[in-house]
Each structure stands twice: as C-alpha cells, then as structure tokens.
Chain A
Amino acid sequence: MSRNWAYLSNYLVYSSMAVYALSFIAHAVETAWAVRVTTEDSKKNMDYKRTVKVARVATAMMILGFVLLFAGVVARGVSAGRVPWGNMYEFSITGALAFSGAYLVALRKHDLRWLGLLVSIAVLLTLGTAVAVLYRPSAPLVPALKSTWLVIHVSTAIISGGVFLLANAIAAAYLYLDAMESRGERTTWAKRLPSLEDLDQLSYRLVAFVFPLWTFSVIAGAIWAESAWGRYWGWDPKETWAFITWVAYAAYLHARVTVGWRGRKAAWLCLFAGSTFLFNYVYVNIWGSGKHTYSGL
C-alpha cells in the first residue's frame, strides 16, 4: 500500500519534470523569438505578438508542472504516513514546489513571465539533483522529527526560501540589466523586461513580505529545539546560518528603509542574503555537522 504511494509519487515527480522541461522550452522559444527587428521602424515599435501563444503554453505548462509536483509531494507524504519533510530528497522536491509556487503567485500580480525561463530551469535542476543524487526510499521519521513543529517550522522555512530565491532571481536580473544599460541601450529581447525601478521595488517587496515569515520559522525552530534537544538555541551550524540569513535580510531592510539604499547596492546585499540561505541548504545539509543531520545522505 505505502509502497504503491511511493511509486506513484515517483511517477508524478518524473512527469512534473517532463512538463517543467516543456515549460522551459516554451519560455526559451518565447525569449528567443518574441521580437523580430528588421527595420528602423520596427525597432521603435516592437511587436511581441509573435510569441503570445507559446508564452501561454509556457505558463500553462508551469502550472501543470506545479500541480503534478504538488501531487507528487502529497503522495510521498501519504506513502510514509507523515508530512513529506524527512530527508533532503523531500526537502528538495518541496523546495522546488515552493519556488515555482512563489513564482506563479507573484505572476498573478506582476508581469513576471520573463522570469519563467530561469524558474523552470532552476526547478528542473533541483528536481534532477533530487531524483538522481538525493533520492531515498520513503521511510518513517526518526523520533526527533516526530512533532507538530515539523509541519510548522519546515513549511514556513521552505516557503520563505522559495520567496527569498525569487527575490534573488529578480535582484540578479536587476544587476544584469543595470550592467547592460550602463554599457548603452538594452538589447532587443531585454526591452520587454520591466524597468530597473520596478525590479528594484519588486525584490524589496518580496523580501519585506516574507521576512516576518522567516523570523517566525526561526522562532518556531527554536521552540521545537527546546522540546527536542533541550535548548532553544545552540549555535548548531544550521541555526547559525539561519541567523546569518536573518541578519543579512534585516540589514537589507534597514539599508533600504532607513538609509535609503536603492538599486545596485541593495541588489548586491539582497543577493548576499539569499546566498546565505542557499549555502545553509546545500553546504550545511550535506557537509555540515551538527544536529540538523536529516539529509539522509
């Protein structure tokens, strides 16, 4: 019974990878063929209609991939009779789900489809690594993880991570376009992308939105650590890096709100803060020591 659910989960994850791949191709086609500039006149009045259909396909595939992956994550949880956050394979597929979910939610409000290329390839790489390197058979939780706090702490951490990385992608796009603009004009394909100010604002808003959630996640982790390990804070490598991430984003928010940093400086700080989160996920989970050794590797 539980084995069937585990197989089903694997099939769903594989299918979602195929669909995300299609989404990636469609986004690539859109990016490459969106505009054709032949004459001086067409340079002034650019026409993006050529790829409207393929753009819709790209987003539709992203949504379908999200749904399949969501089902895959749920089936994985059912197979083990618990929330699917017991080892690094499960963290990774849920993280990919959160990242593409954050993108889709932000897409409803903002014109972010240009980011789809990056999101789909990032999700594909994450899922690929998860399936090829991190996969572990579905198994029950070790005693320390058997707690309601697992649901609260890990879900908020994963959602925060998804949004932080989205903000990071936007900050990176800012820096790229900023460098392009300082050399001269934006190249044709990049003209469609939002203005630098919009990108700057958007990455700030994402961070400001999710920073309280991250704070909550760290505190929830502390409450859990108190009941599982006998101390709420012990400078475990994972805790230390969660703290560094928190401090870095706090500095980012202060720099923007109080000191008035904008643009390039703020984007670099945002990238730095986001990379501390990634470092925590990759390095500390795999090579680090300490009490957060649940990667199963």
Chain B
Amino acid sequence: MSQEIQVPELGSVGLLRYGWRQLTSMRTALILLLLLGVASIPGSLIPQRTQNPIKVGEYFKNSPELSTWMDRFSLFDVYGSPWFSAIYILLFISLIGCVLPRTIEHFHSARALPPSTPKNLDRMEHHTSWSAQGDELEKARDWFKSKRFRVLEKDGSISAEKGFTRETGNLFFHLALILVLLGISFSSLFGMRGMAILNVDERFVNTTTSYDSLQFGKLFNEKNLPDFALTVDKFVAKYNLVTSSPEDYTLDVKFAKGDLSQSELRTIKVNSPLKMGNTSIYLQANGYSPVVTVRDSNGDVAMQGPVPFLPQDSNLRSIGAIKVPDADPQIGFVGSFVPTYARSGADGAVSVFPEALDPRLLLSAWIGDLGLDSGVPQSVYRMDTSKMNQVGLKSLKPGETFTYPQGSITFEGYLQWVNIEIVNDPGKNYALLGGIVAILGLLASLFTRRRRIWIRVGKSVEVAGLAKNAAPGLDVEMAEFIAKLKGGK
C-alpha cells in the first residue's frame, strides 16, 4: 500500500491516520507476524512459571540477581507478558484493519457483474480466433453455465469471470483467526482450572475449598462451579513388565450430579476425560500414599491416615513428608516410599518396578520446630529440618513399627492417589470452529484462481483469457473451452 506523506501540517488527526495506515499496511503485518514468531522463542528455552514452577525456582536459587532481572522482563512468563501481548494485539488490530475494508470491497465486487468485454481482445493473453460457425455464443453460454462462471453478455460478446472463492477463502481464513483469538480470550475470562489430589475412596465435592490449586478467569463467578461430587472407587495402573513404562491407567469414580443423592459409576482415562457441559475432569497423575499411624510416648494416636508422596522417577520412587504439628514437641518424618524395593550401592534404596510388589517406607524421624507457624509457605512434600534434630532412621515393611524415644510410627500399608484436574473452558468450541474455518478458507484461497475469459463472435470467433497474479492453469482451461466451441453438439 502506498501512502502519501505530507510532511507539513501533519496534525493530530493526520498523525493518527498516518499511524493507522502504517499499522494496517501489509509490511507492518508481516513484520509483526515474524516478530510474534521470534518473541515466542525465549519461552521455549527458559522455564515458564505456568509449566515448570520448580525449575523457575531453581533459576532464582542459582542466580538470584540474573533471575530478578529476567523476571523484570517477564522472561518466566513470556506468553502472558506485556510485550508478548503487545505484539499479538497489534498484529490482530492490523489484521482487522486490513481484513475489514477488504471484506466490504469483496462483498461489493462479488455482487457486481464482470466488466464488459474489452475492445481489443487480441491484446490479451491466450488470444485465438477462427472463422465462426454460428453457434459458438450458445455453446460458450452453456459451457460458462456448466462451469459456474458469472457472465455478462453484451453485443455478441460474453465476458465471464470465476474464482471469487480465492478472496472469499482468504478473508474467511483471516476472520477465523480472529475467532480463534476471541475463543481463547473468552476462556481466559470465563474459565477455570483446578487440581486436586485424591486417595482411593476419598470423596471430592466441587467447592472452591476442595481444590489443592485453583485458578479463575477474571470474570468467572464462584457460583458457576457446577454441582457435583465424586468418590474415587478404583484406580488401576498397568505397566510393561520389561520396560516398566505405563500401558494403561483406569480411574473408576462414583459420580453424583446436582443434588448429589444419586451416583453413577463413571470411568476416566487419560484420553477420555469425564465431560459435563463445558466442564471436563481429567486424570493427570498418580502415585502412592503410605498409610501411617503415629503414636506418642504414651501410645496415644497423634496422627493417622494416608499421606500423598510425590513420584520422582518412572519406577515411582516417591518422596514426602509426614508432619505432626500437634505433637509436643513437634515431630516430623522425611520419607521415601519405594513400591518395589531393591538396594543399589550408589543410591541406597531404589524402586525397580512401579507396581507395589514389595513396598518399603524409609523414614528419618525429626523432633523440634516444623516451622509451620513462620508464615513462609511450605511444600507438603518437603520438611524444613533446620530447627529440628534427627532422632532415628528406619526402613519399614507394611505392618512394621519404628519406635524411637518420643513415640512410634507404624507403616500400615499404602493407598494409591490420583491427581484430577477440573477444567471449565467455555471458549474452546469457538476456537475449534475458528480453526476449522481457517483451514477451509486456506484451502479455498490456495487452490482456486481468479480468472476471466472473453468471447466475441462476429464473422470470426475471438477468445482470450486473463488470470490474476498470472496463476498457472488457465492455458489448460482455455484449451478445453476452445475444444468445446469447435466441437459438434
């Protein structure tokens, strides 16, 4: 697009108009598009908070100064950062500014008839002429009709045009991209996403307090959480005996909707979430919760139940912390759970298979201050032992008890836990529709050509054609057309 730049008297309106023209010019759009590609690179090389908060934490630990600076430029949050948003918002404004006028123009030209046949057809491409038989115009009319050309017939000549689909497809493609973006924004405003870790037999009621982590869209209302409850009925994980890699996870839940009075048995698998309107329930992870009973020196139960441990490798060696803040003095255990125990010289206790064939719980017991009241948030899987003293170390089989001066802990057994993710994504269907329309538009615009064919019949027949953007293939079509005209009925 060319723009006249009037250097003197570029008032504020002129400046705005100039800016708008610059922004909606194809060159700017192209630069913004490439910039968007380049801008997404750092997020794939630097760990991102949304995907890998632990690694981000390690960055801060290892080089705090550098990390602080990187954080100032949102390098740990690239895809939500102001500069990334700026690029794609500018790109979409530029896109809208470019596509809307084109849509209006295209709408008008699609309803208009093709321009009348030029006077000097012999100046056009693909020009041929031969002496007339008389019925050429009629044949041409039929042929154009069968090929769905739009025609204008005037004074013994036909001007025919075809291939508006190209621009239509192109416009639909760009409009569909806007729809995708709207779908994504819609989800981020009105959606929610939450996680919960549930032991087998545990019940989950869908209220905000049941979640371990929960994110809302800015306009999501807590009251919009659908009423349901589920109880983990059974979880089965199958593993390959040779490679230990998982082959199947099946989670059966008792699922109750609405007033929660009636429940039905539903199955959730990795590729088939439980769907309920816009809300889906996914099976995301699983692991083991050792079940323990902690007693004080009098033999009274201080704590009892399953404690989820966090898997560390593909054989599900898991680590965790058992904290008993109510004991006096406070007591805690740093533990590791191995489902199938083996000893390795270098690493100590390891797991050699993810199924619990020979489980062990390895514990070190600590007495002192758990530091839970300091206000600093703590991971439930880790324990701050800086103000504690170790009182013992023990490896337990199920049913065994470890007794230390201040009490005892019994390893009763284990339960499996599952991590379910509950997602409400109201915009995804718009985004999907946008994606489908984008592909169809793309196909239409890449594989159709806009072209005109003319015929004038007097003493001789004259035909010519013109393809926009010199698209190939018109010569073939012209040959077919001419053969039709020359051929008998």
Q: Does A142 contact B (CB under 8 A)?
A: yes
Q: Does A67 contact B (CB under 8 A)?
A: no
- On whether A142 and B271 interact (CB within 8 A), knowing A232-B428, A235-B79, the answer reads no
Residue contact A237 to B439, C-beta cutoff 8 Å: no
- Measured in the bound complex, the distance between the Cα atoms of B280 and A103 in whole Å is 43
Name the interface residues of B27-62: CB closer than 8 Å to any CB of A: 27, 29-30, 33-34, 36-37, 40-41, 43-45, 47-48, 50-52, 55
Name the interface residues of B264-300: CB closer than 8 Å to any CB of A: 269-273, 280, 282, 284
| A136 shortest CB reach to chain B, Å | 9
Q: Does A130 contact B (CB under 8 A)?
A: no
- On whether A235 and B246 interact (CB within 8 A), knowing A216-B439, A247-B37, A259-B30, the answer reads no
Residue contact B245 to A142, C-beta cutoff 8 Å: yes
Residue contact B442 to A215, C-beta cutoff 8 Å: yes
- Measured in the bound complex, the distance between the Cα atoms of B247 and A146 in whole Å is 9
Residue contact B47 to A143, C-beta cutoff 8 Å: no
- On whether A254 and B33 interact (CB within 8 A), knowing A223-B432, A230-B421, A235-B51, the answer reads yes
Q: Does B146 contact A (CB under 8 A)?
A: no
Residues on A with C-beta less than 8 A from B30 are: 251, 254-255, 258-259
Residue contact A231 to B423, C-beta cutoff 8 Å: yes
| A71 shortest CB reach to chain B, Å | 25
With both beta carbons as reference points, the residue of chain B lying nearest to A261 in the complex is identified as B30
Residue contact A234 to B50, C-beta cutoff 8 Å: yes
Q: Does B242 contact A (CB under 8 A)?
A: yes
With both beta carbons as reference points, the residue of chain B lying nearest to A254 in the complex is identified as B30
- On whether A250 and B33 interact (CB within 8 A), knowing A143-B269, A230-B273, the answer reads yes
Complex interface bits, A200-217 against B, C-beta within 8 A gives 1, otherwise 0: 000000001101100110
Q: Does A61 contact B (CB under 8 A)?
A: no
Residue contact A142 to B40, C-beta cutoff 8 Å: no
Residues on A with C-beta less than 8 A from B110 are: none
Interface size on B, residues (CB 8 A): 53
- Measured in the bound complex, the distance between the Cα atoms of B248 and A147 in whole Å is 12
Residues on B with C-beta less than 8 A from A247 are: 33-34, 36-37, 40
Residues on B with C-beta less than 8 A from A243 are: 37, 40
Which of A140, A224, A255, A288 makes the CB contact (< 8 A) with B240?
A140
Q: Does B224 contact A (CB under 8 A)?
A: no
Which of B29, B37, B44, B423 makes the CB contact (< 8 A) with A230?
B423
Residue contact B242 to A146, C-beta cutoff 8 Å: no
Residue contact A257 to B469, C-beta cutoff 8 Å: yes
Q: Does B393 contact A (CB under 8 A)?
A: no
Residues on B with C-beta less than 8 A from A231 are: 193, 423, 425
| B202 shortest CB reach to chain A, Å | 20
Complex interface bits, B429-468 against A, C-beta within 8 A gives 1, otherwise 0: 0011001101100110010000000000000000000000
- Measured in the bound complex, the distance between the Cα atoms of B238 and A5 in whole Å is 24
Q: Does A226 contact B (CB under 8 A)?
A: yes
Complex interface bits, A75-103 against B, C-beta within 8 A gives 1, otherwise 0: 00000000000000000000000000000
Which of B50, B271, B442, B443 makes the CB contact (< 8 A) with A143?
B271
With both beta carbons as reference points, the residue of chain A lying nearest to B423 in the complex is identified as A230
- Measured in the bound complex, the distance between the Cα atoms of B394 and A230 in whole Å is 40
Residues on B with C-beta less than 8 A from A237 are: 44-45
Name the interface residues of B238-255: CB closer than 8 Å to any CB of A: 240, 242-243, 245-249
Residue contact B33 to A259, C-beta cutoff 8 Å: no
Residues on B with C-beta less than 8 A from A244 are: 37, 40-41
Q: Does B350 contact A (CB under 8 A)?
A: no
- Measured in the bound complex, the distance between the Cα atoms of B282 and A228 in whole Å is 8
Residues on B with C-beta less than 8 A from A140 are: 240, 245, 247
Residue contact B246 to A142, C-beta cutoff 8 Å: yes
Residues on B with C-beta less than 8 A from A241 are: 44
Residue contact A254 to B51, C-beta cutoff 8 Å: no
Name the interface residues of A118-136: CB closer than 8 Å to any CB of B: none
- On whether A227 and B44 interact (CB within 8 A), knowing A234-B50, A235-B79, A236-B51, the answer reads no
Dominant SS among interface residues on chain A: helix
- On whether A229 and B37 interact (CB within 8 A), knowing A288-B44, A290-B51, the answer reads no
| A138 shortest CB reach to chain B, Å | 10
Residues on A with C-beta less than 8 A from B442 are: 211-212, 215
| A65 shortest CB reach to chain B, Å | 31
| A54 shortest CB reach to chain B, Å | 33
With both beta carbons as reference points, the residue of chain B lying nearest to A280 in the complex is identified as B44
Residue contact A143 to B248, C-beta cutoff 8 Å: yes
Q: Does B383 contact A (CB under 8 A)?
A: no
Q: Does A48 contact B (CB under 8 A)?
A: no
Name the interface residues of A237-252: CB closer than 8 Å to any CB of B: 237, 240-241, 243-244, 247-248, 250-251
Q: Does A233 contact B (CB under 8 A)?
A: yes
With both beta carbons as reference points, the residue of chain B lying nearest to A223 in the complex is identified as B432
Residue contact A139 to B40, C-beta cutoff 8 Å: no
Which of B79, B184, B270, B425 makes the CB contact (< 8 A) with A144?
B270
- On whether A232 and B44 interact (CB within 8 A), knowing A211-B446, A247-B33, the answer reads no
| A227 shortest CB reach to chain B, Å | 5
- Measured in the bound complex, the distance between the Cα atoms of B362 and A274 in whole Å is 51
- Measured in the bound complex, the distance between the Cα atoms of B45 and A250 in whole Å is 23
Residues on B with C-beta less than 8 A from A254 are: 26, 29-30, 33
- On whether A143 and B26 interact (CB within 8 A), knowing A230-B282, A247-B33, A289-B47, the answer reads no
- Measured in the bound complex, the distance between the Cα atoms of B280 and A228 in whole Å is 11
Residue contact A219 to B439, C-beta cutoff 8 Å: yes
Q: Does A222 contact B (CB under 8 A)?
A: yes
Residues on A with C-beta less than 8 A from B193 are: 230-231
- On whether A234 and B51 interact (CB within 8 A), knowing A143-B247, A219-B439, A240-B43, the answer reads yes
Q: Does A13 contact B (CB under 8 A)?
A: no
- Measured in the bound complex, the distance between the Cα atoms of B84 and A24 in whole Å is 46
Q: Does A284 contact B (CB under 8 A)?
A: yes
Residues on B with C-beta less than 8 A from A142 are: 245-247
A→B interface (CB under 8 Å) = 137, 139-144, 146-147, 149, 208-209, 211-212, 215-216, 219, 222-224, 226-237, 240-241, 243-244, 247-248, 250-251, 254-255, 257-259, 276, 284, 288-290
Pick the 9 closest A-B CB pairs, nearest first.
Answer: A247-B37, A230-B282, A240-B44, A143-B270, A237-B44, A219-B435, A147-B271, A244-B37, A212-B442
Q: List 19 A-B contacts (CB under 8 A).
A: A139-B240, A139-B245, A142-B247, A208-B446, A211-B442, A215-B435, A215-B438, A227-B271, A230-B421, A231-B425, A235-B40, A235-B43, A235-B44, A236-B51, A244-B37, A247-B40, A257-B469, A259-B27, A289-B52
| Given contact pairs A146-B248, A236-B51, a sample of 6 additional A-B residue pairs in the complex whose CB atoms are under 8 Å apart | A139-B242, A143-B249, A216-B439, A219-B439, A234-B50, A237-B44
